[in-house]
Structure 1
Amino acid sequence: MALPLIEDSMGNLVASFAAQTETGDISLPILVNELRRKKEEFCQKLAEIREDNPASGLFRCTKDARDLYNKRNEINIYMSSSWCKFPLYEANFGWGKPSWVVPVPLHLVKNLIILMDTKDGEGIEAWVILSEEEMAYVL
């Protein structure tokens, strides 16, 4: 969905939306449905930001995600980001294109999932960073 904030703007729009569950025992289809609903709600709010100061509108749109993140010591938060379709393997800073792109520093964040295109563009790599406690639970 194209989200024209300002006619003369350019660059990447980076924003957050959050889906919250009330129970620790949730199925994947329910979680995906809730994420999809929150994303649609977020995009709808964002599309309505055609005001004098789009930055403050974007700040209001991401309030739910910020409020949840501020409770990170009280609740389990899992973040995800898709870097798919970014031409990361086309970057050339003078010494050639990269042979492998790795999101760093991974050790600074826990419970994070980053999706990236593979070098050949035929697949997706999933970088999953979990705390030791979460890994023990998964295994």
Structure 2
Amino acid sequence: PSLHTAWAMAIFLHGWRGSTASRIFGTFWLIATTGATLGFGFHYAVDVLAGAVFTLTLEAALTRPETGWTKIRMGVVAMGAAMFAGLLALTRYAAMELATGGAAATALLLAPLVFTAAGFLFVERPELLSVEDRPGGPTFPGRRRRIFAQRSQV
């Protein structure tokens, strides 16, 4: 995995917690580092994706320690570790299939980043989840809550 990307992603994530200047710097640093890493041929694109998944997983484990190790955090860290290991296994054992797989292979390679980023977002911003006093814990706000309420009235 690309540790160039991992460091740039960490700077980007921490920059978004700060001022506008730090957001601009973090975004610029991530784009410039990723562009240089790929453009100069230091890493393949899959290395950049693995570096981003690696950083998002670590950040999910370390961000907002005041919230503790919730089920969401443990799930996101476990999922991120599994996604990272899966990316490494795919590049080791299915490199030719990925290289010739077209859109399906691209989706397969991008999926770990998308899922890990979404999970990190729920750890970083837990207010996006609705936690109610009922078995099952957190749910996504909106439609699912309405469906659950309709079932319990029946």
Same fold (TM over 0.5): no
Please report the TM-score for the alignment, with normalisation by the length of structure 1. 0.30
Q: Which has the higher helix share?
A: 2
Q: Which has the higher strand share?
A: 1
Q: Which has the higher contact order (CA 8 A, sep 6+)?
A: 2
Please report the TM-score for the alignment, with normalisation by the length of structure 2. 0.28
